[in-house]
Structure 1
Amino acid sequence: MKALSLFVTGTDTGIGKTFVSCALLRSFCARDQRVVALKPIAAGAKLHNGVWLNEDTELLLDESNVTLQPHLITPYLLREPVAPHIGAAHQGLPIDISYIQSCYHDAAQLADVVIVEGVGGVCVPIDEMKDTSDIAIMLKLPILLVVGLRLGCINHALLSAEAIATRGLTLAGWIANVVDPYMTCSAENIEAVRQRFDRQYSAPLLGIIPRLDGNRSDKTASYLDIDTLLKRLRYLHAHQSNPFR
């Protein structure tokens, strides 16, 4: 059986993609699934004992129960915390999404579930011609959108969903993650997005995550509707001969 796979993107950078991806991994592990996460492009690294490491990649690695070589988990580790096309140009490291595809296929042979975390939002450039969505298109993966709850999130969510649909990708569902705990009318904002996503994309709300201290993937996982997500992924998997809307 082919791995059930998912591409996690967000309405912005620093919106909680890794936070959510770790919780997804924890949830699937609890269901006795072999799970692994890839962060194909990571921007921002620190030198530790002679090795360049990215914090997000390390967090994902800790929650995976399938061991992969580092070059498969993060084929492109960019040292500067900047937009990928800029960081790659500074390092003289062109990003080849066909190589990312090869790494993904190797990982998918070893796991039941593969979480692929994007970099930034869905339209972040990775070179002069391609953006993050091109990775999901190449891998033929449905999208999970993390919506950061703060002022302006409705517009960011709707624009992201429109970009996903315009590129022929399937929005499998979305998660509301509280970025600003003092945001007013957060429930009304969630409902505005939920109604539109239900009507336009049949994309269910899969969880509302409150503001939590630290990377508490165990706590975060309790707010996710994994059963609905699994049902959605299995449906999309069964119809993968026509994977895009």
Structure 2
Amino acid sequence: MSTRDQDQRGWVVLATDTGVGKTVVSCALARQLIDHGLLPRVRKPVETGCEIHDGERHPADGIALREAAGQHERLEAICPIRYLTPVAAPEAARREGEILSFKRDLAPILDQARTDLAHGERVIIESAGGLLSPLADDALNVRLAEYTHLPAILVTPDRLGTLSATLSAVESLHQRHIPIAAIVLNRRPNDPIGPDCPDNANSLREWLPQLIPTPPPVICFHDPQHPGALLPLLNA
């Protein structure tokens, strides 16, 4: 399988910040794949802020991803590295007496996720925090896309103040030669709506061509129960 073929068979879900809806978007995308006869492989290599249940660490995002993807893979494969403290992964690791290494700990997970992808499979790899937040002692979250050569889905909140963070993230990805499959403007339950709210989608469509030569599509994702807005990703 060529690198180009693999590049078209999955995504890395990055975000402008933590808590902006990466898991909601990743789950919706996994369900869309299933609805269109494709099998998602979902991965959240590292999750922090896990809770203890029955003596085991439960990764809430990893569990949600597994359920959305049809529960055909073990949770240990989907989210193998889990920490308790809700901080950036390398700090959480150090608090538990560990050193988290991208090359040693994360690269093998990513390699396995992309091994022997069947024709009808797609891989979705979700980061842990904003794209330039630390993922390991030797890597930022953006390294997930750099290493796998998969295109990025950039998730950003559809609220006042999102333009600067989104355009900064786009410039950062472009400078790293990471293709952007789409920018997903996610409206979270507590984000205000109404006539006084900014039109972030059209503002991004206006400004993106001034920053990068081939602007990605801007997708407004306002209802997780109706994920059809993500359909263009399947046809790209």
**1:64 Cα deviation after fit:** 1.2
**For 2:169, which of 160, 166, 174 is the aligned residue?**
160
- Equivalent of 1:5, from 3, 7, 10? 10
Task: Return the alpha-carbon distance in structure 1 between the equivalents of residues 64 and 19 of structure 2.
Answer: 15
Segments of structure 2 that go 5 or more residues without pairing to the other structure are none
- Cα distance between partner residues in 2 of 1:155 and 1:170: 19
Q: Is the 8 A contact 2:62 2:79 kept in 1?
A: yes
Match status 1:37 vs 2:48 = no
Q: Which residue of 2 aligns with 1:231?
A: 235
Matched, 1:104 2:103: no
Counterparts of 2:21 and 2:136, CA distance in 1: 24
- When structure 1 is superposed on structure 2, of 133-142 and 181-190 the one drifting more is 181-190
Match 1:68 to one of 55, 65, 73: 73
Contact 2:102–2:136 (8 Å) recurs in 1 = no
> Separation in 2 of the partners of 1:176 and 1:126?
23
Q: How much does 1:79 deviate?
A: 1.0
Residue 90 and residue 220 in structure 1: after superposition, are their counterparts in 2 closer, same or farther (change >3 A)? farther
CA contact (8 A) 2:16 2:169 kept: yes
User: Structure 1, unaligned stretches of length 5 or more?
Assistant: 233-245
Secondary structure of the residue aligned to 1:72 is: helix
Q: 1:208 pairs with 202, 220, 235, which one?
A: 220
1:118 aligns with 2:123: no
Aligned-pair CA distance for 1:30: 0.4
1:173 aligns with 182
TM-score normalised by L of structure 1: 0.82
- Secondary structure of 2:47's aligned partner: strand
Deviation at 1:185, TM superposition (A): 4.6
Task: Tell me the SS of whatever aligns to 1:168.
Answer: coil
CA distance in structure 1 between the aligned counterparts of 2:77 and 2:177, rounded to whole angstroms? 26
Separation of aligned partners in 2, 1:67 and 1:166 = 37
Q: Distance in 1 between matches of 2:89 and 2:195?
A: 33
Is 1:94–2:99 an aligned residue pair?
yes
Q: d(CA) in 2 for partners of 1:127 and 1:183?
A: 40
User: Given that residues 159 and 198 in structure 2 are in contact (C-alpha distance below 8 angstroms), is that contact kept between their aligned partners in structure 1?
Assistant: no
Measure, in 1, the Cα distance between the counterparts of 2:159 and 2:74.
37
The answer (yes or no) to whether the contact 1:133–1:167 under 8 Å persists in 2 is no
For residue 19 of structure 2, give the secondary structure of its aligned residue in structure 1.
Answer: coil
Give TM-score, length-normalised by structure 2.
Answer: 0.85
Structure 1 pair 96/68, CA: closer, same or farther in 2 (3 Å)?
A: farther
Amino acid at match of 1:204: P
Q: CA deviation at 1:229?
A: 1.4
Distance in 1 of aligned mates of 2:226 and 2:94: 36
Q: Alignment partner of 1:119: what SS?
A: coil
- How many positions carry a matched residue from both structures? 223
Instruction: Indicate yes or no: 2:198 matched with 1:193.
Output: no
Equivalent position amino acid for 2:177 in 1: G
| Contact 1:20/1:220 (<8 A) preserved | no
Cα deviation 1:7-66 (Å, max 9, x = unaligned): 001111110110000000000000111112100111111111111111111000101136
Distance of 2:112 and 2:201 partners within structure 1 = 37
Change (3 A) 1:50 1:170: same
